Amino acid sequence: MNKTELLTKLWEQYTEITPSAKKIQDLLKEKGEEIKNDHIAIRTFNDKRINIDVLERLFLDVGYEEKGEYIFESKKLFAKHYEHSTDKNAPRIFISELELEKCSIKLQATVKEILDNCDAATFNNPELVLSGAVWKTKSIAVYNLLLEESEYAAWMYVYGFRANHFTINVNALKNFNSLESLNAFLENSEWKLNSSGGKIKGTPEQLLEQSSTLADLHSVNFDEGAMQIPSCYYEFALRYPMPNGELYQGFIASSADKIFESTDVKLQNNL
Ligand code: OOG
Ligand code: NI
């Protein structure tokens, strides 16, 4: 699989459960925009069968290189970001993992059982990152148990290995020279934005401003029946130049901490 095939598959899987992303793209294209991606994010658990080291392999194979590392203490997450070695237009990749040893014994045991119930071959699949929720069962009871402690863990249980969001490169847009103006355009078109920590995360001084929609609601078939669960969101990133004139390439942990909440049903209920 080459880089283009990998990124195309991630996009197709993402838009299948995130119709908003396609609609927002179409809206921007109608204004004459050409869409470029700033980054794509992936989630996982830090169990050694499926951790960042496992999920990064396919990206390293197609020419990505490891760059930054980020720690999210209260959410018990760790993340790395990757940039392509030769294609400067390729989106960055952001992979995070839940640090299970910092979670309750109950959560650790639940995740271990979910993973132990999968065949070893499931995790040896070189295309694991495209394989969704590979576990054999999907129960509302397990979802609720995980949700009580970690919204991230609950999301991972339902949606698994896939792009959690794509991010529009706002610098590349022609009609919007600020994130405020893009946000206003989206809100005028009735899109709901994540307002945790303010609609714009980060400042020009931090060299990165980000905003995001609230995740779409998607109907999920559980063993007990269907239920609507937040799926994926669309993010918007505006980067500022560093003193050497080049755009900042990394991520800002305090902003990312709030962006993670775009899949949190609590934010949807607060509207
Ligand atoms: C990742 C959230 C962080 C960013 O751009 O800072 C992030 C996630 O929700 O999995 O994407
Ligand atoms: Ni992001």
Q: Is the CB of 110 under 6 A from ligand 1?
A: no
- Asked if the model's pLDDT at residue 266 lies above 90, the reply is no
Residue 158 confidence (pLDDT): 98
What is the pLDDT averaged over residues 183-187? 97
Give φ, ψ of 42 to 5 degrees. -130, 145
Query: Which of 3, 146, 114 is closest to 49 using CA atoms?
Result: 114
pLDDT tens digits for range 25-46: 999 999 999 999 999 999 999 9
Q: Does ligand 1 have an atom closer than 6 angstroms to the CB of 92?
A: no
Q: Which atom of ligand 1 is nearest to the CA of 262?
A: 9
Name the band, by pLDDT with cuts 50, 70 and 90, for residue 265.
confident
The CA-CA-CA angle for residues 127, 133, 136, to 5°, reads 110
Q: How many CB atoms lie within 10 A of CB 235?
A: 26
94 lines ligand 1 (CB under 6 A): yes
> Which ligand 1 atom is at minimum distance from the Cα of 252?
6
Cα of 79 to ligand 1 centre, how many Å? 9
How many Å apart are CA 208 and CA 65, to the nearest integer?
21
For the chain, the average pLDDT equals: 96
pLDDT at residue 259, rounded to an integer: 95
* 138: number of Cβ within 10 Å: 17
The architecture in CATH of the region 3-269 reads Roll (3.10)
- Are 262 and 215 a contacting pair, CB within 8 Å? yes
- Render pLDDT for 155-184 as a digit per residue (tens, 0 to 9): 999 999 999 999 999 999 999 999 999 999
Find the angle CA(46)-CA(150)-CA(24) to the nearest 5 degrees.
95
Pocket test of ligand 1: the residue of 77, 96, 155, 210 to mutate, having most ligand atoms within 8 Å of its CB, is 96
Q: What is the pLDDT of residue 271?
A: 56
- Summarised one tens digit per residue, pLDDT across range 41-81 is 999 999 999 999 999 999 999 999 999 999 999 999 999 99
- H/E stretch holding 44 reads strand 37-45
Distance 243 CA to ligand 2 centre (A): 24
Cβ(259) – ligand 1 distance below 6 Å: yes
User: Which residue CA neighbors atom 7 of ligand 1 most closely?
Assistant: 256
Give this complex's ipTM.
0.99
- What three-state secondary structure class fits 84? strand
- Which tens digits make up the pLDDT trace of 120-149? 899 999 999 999 999 999 999 999 999 999
Atom of ligand 1 nearest to the CA of 260: 9
**pLDDT, mean of residues 12-24:** 98
201 CA: nearest ligand 1 atom: 6
pLDDT in tens, 103-124: 999 999 999 999 999 998 999 9
Largest CA distance in the chain: 57
